[in-house]
Amino acid sequence: MRTGFGEHLLAGAVLFAVLALLLIPGGTEFLLAGAFFIVGAVMPDLDSPVSKPRKLMRRVVFVSALVLLLLFYPQLSTACGRFSDKSSCTYLPVFAVLAVFAAVYLLDLIIPKHRGFLHSFSAAMLYGAAVCLLMLYLGVGSSFRIGAWAFGGYLSHLLVDAVGDATPFK
C-alpha cells in the first residue's frame, strides 16, 4: 500500500496525541512539541516532486525570494548604478525576476530523489538536532525534549512508510 500525505498527517497526529497524553506537560512546550512532531511526520516527503510538502515549500521559497527582492531592490539598483553605467541597469528588473524563479529551480535541483536521504534515520536525527538547537537558541521550553519529539515525528513517517510497504493490499 502506498502511503500519502493524509496517512502521514493522520498517523503523526494520532501518535503524538497518544504519546503526549502520557509524557508531556501542557503549555508552550506541548504546542511546540506537537507542531514539530507533525511537521516531522510529513517532512520526509519533501523529496517527492508531487507531494504537498514539496509544493508548499516551492511556494514558500518563491514568495520569500520575491519579498527579499522587493525589500532589497532599492539597494540593488543603487549598487548597479554605482558599479556600472545606467544602460546596463535597465535589465535589472528582468534579471531580478528571473533570480526569483531560479531560486525555486535550485530548490528542485538540491533535493535528493524520493526515498533517498530524507527517508533515513540520519535525516531524522538531523531534523531532531536542528529543532533542539533552534529551541536552545530561542530559549523556549526544554530544547532536548522538543527536539526528541521532532525526531519521533520524523520516525513516525518512516514507520508508516515501512508498514505501508509491507502491507500486501492497496
For residue 128, the model assigns a pLDDT of 93
Task: Confirm if 27 and 40 have CB atoms less than 8 A apart.
Answer: no
For residue range 32-51, list pLDDT tens digits in order.
Answer: 888 898 888 888 888 887 88
At residue 48, the pLDDT reads 81
Please give the model's pTM, rounded to 2 decimal places: 0.67
The gap from C-alpha 39 to its chain's centroid, in whole angstroms, comes to: 8
> CA 153, CA 14: separation in Å to the nearest integer?
11
Nearest one of 165, 164, 152, 136 to 12, comparing CA atoms: 152
How far apart are alpha carbons 128 and 139 in whole angstroms?
16
C-alpha span between 76 and 64 (Å, rounded)? 17
Predicted pLDDT at 126: 94
Q: How much helix, strand and coil, in percent to the nearest 5, is found in the chain?
A: 85, 0, 15
Exposure of 78 by Cβ count < 10 A (0-12 exposed, 13-18 middle, 19+ buried)?
Answer: exposed
pLDDT value for 133: 94
pLDDT digits (tens, 9 = 90+) for 36-92: 988 888 888 888 878 888 888 888 888 888 888 888 888 888 888 787 776 777 777
User: In the predicted model, is pLDDT for residue 147 greater than 60?
Assistant: yes
Per-domain boundaries in the chain: 1-48+114-170, 50-112
Distance set, CA 19 to CA 11, 60, 77, 123, 129 (Å): 12, 31, 53, 22, 20
- C-alpha count within 13 angstroms, C-beta hemisphere, residue 120: 9
Is the separation of the CB atoms in 161 and 43 below 8 Å?
no
User: Contact at 8 Å (CB) between 170 and 1?
Assistant: yes
Residues 6 or more apart whose Cβ sits within 8 Å of residue 13: 38, 41
Percent of the chain whose pLDDT exceeds 70:
87
The segment with the largest mean pLDDT, out of 90-99, 134-143, 149-158, is: 149-158
